[in-house]
Amino acid sequence: MATDTLAVEHGHAHEQKEDWKGGVSPFNVSYGKLMMWYFLVSDAFTFSAFLISYGAIRFSSPTWADPNLVFNAFPGLPGVDAPLGFVSVMTFILILSSVFVVRAVQEGHMMNRKGVVFWMFWGIIGGAAFLGCQAWEWHHLITGLAHDHGMTIFENSFHNSPEPVPIAFGQLFFVITGFHGFHVFSGVILNIIICIQAAQGVFDRRGHYEMVEKVGLYWHFVDLVWVFVFLAFYLL
């Protein structure tokens, strides 16, 4: 009777229970990997807003630049008309670097430090090469304005009709490709840090290479976004 009295207070029965300490992740991923996915989804919204804005302005304008005329130069081949040739090389380099990072993640799953360092190194080279290509393209477009075949964010000289191309073409090109290029640059820095840590045995001491996988997710996202940027500016 005394026990029953203690168990009842103000008409409510109280049972002693442990606080919930969480359970298995509903997504079957670690906290860090889940947060990386959240970040990538939020970043995808930003890129989507840019590209939707581009599409709205592009299809509401009576004239627009012809990508076959804007992007027809190739380094080391002055005067040669190679529409979309150079940007195809850029795209191949970025996709190849993504393959290298995939291999680094696979080696991480096997706890192979040398394999991670080797493939991550080549992923870094690919990212740096892409940035170098983008720098050349920007330089070519900006300096070409003096010869009536270039553009800046303030002016462009490309025509695909008797009327001038809207200034928004150059503005959107430099803003969106620059924003993507900043992501590539950030990814290269992250890959360098991870490569150095892997070489120093940091992840061996942790017992896993999950950080390589998380950085790999970011790198693949950057690669995927470039597909849409390529479609918007170089094909449409």
Task: Look at 21-35, 109-123, 214-228 and tell me which has the smallest mean pLDDT.
Answer: 21-35
Average pLDDT of span 23-38: 74
Task: Look at 59-68, 108-117, 144-153 and tell me which has the smallest mean pLDDT.
Answer: 144-153
Of all residues in the chain, what percent carry a pLDDT higher than 90? 49
Q: How far apart are CA 149 and CA 72, in angstroms?
A: 11
Asked if the structure places residue 121 within a domain, the reply is yes
Q: What is the pLDDT of residue 221?
A: 95
Asked if the structure places residue 220 within a domain, the reply is yes
CATH of the domain at 75: 1.20.120.80
Q: Contacts for 41-50 with beta carbons within 8 Å, 24 or more apart?
A: 43/183, 43/221, 44/221, 44/225, 46/179, 47/179, 47/180, 47/225, 47/228, 50/172, 50/175, 50/176, 50/179
**pLDDT single digits (tens) 141-183:** 888 765 666 777 777 776 554 556 677 888 889 999 999 999 9
Asked if the structure places residue 42 within a domain, the reply is no
pLDDT at 233 over 80: yes
Average pLDDT of span 118-144: 92
Asked if the structure places residue 228 within a domain, the reply is yes
Asked if the structure places residue 61 within a domain, the reply is no
The number of distinct structural domains making up the chain is 1
Q: How far apart are CA 34 and CA 36, in angstroms?
A: 5
**pLDDT single digits (tens) 191-232:** 999 999 999 988 888 888 889 999 999 999 999 999 999 999
For the record, the structure tokens of 213 come out as 């996988």
Q: What is the pLDDT of residue 81?
A: 76
Asked if the structure places residue 58 within a domain, the reply is no
Asked if the structure places residue 25 within a domain, the reply is no
**Domain range enclosing 131:** 71-235
Residue 82 amino acid letter = A
Averaged pLDDT score across all residues of the chain: 83
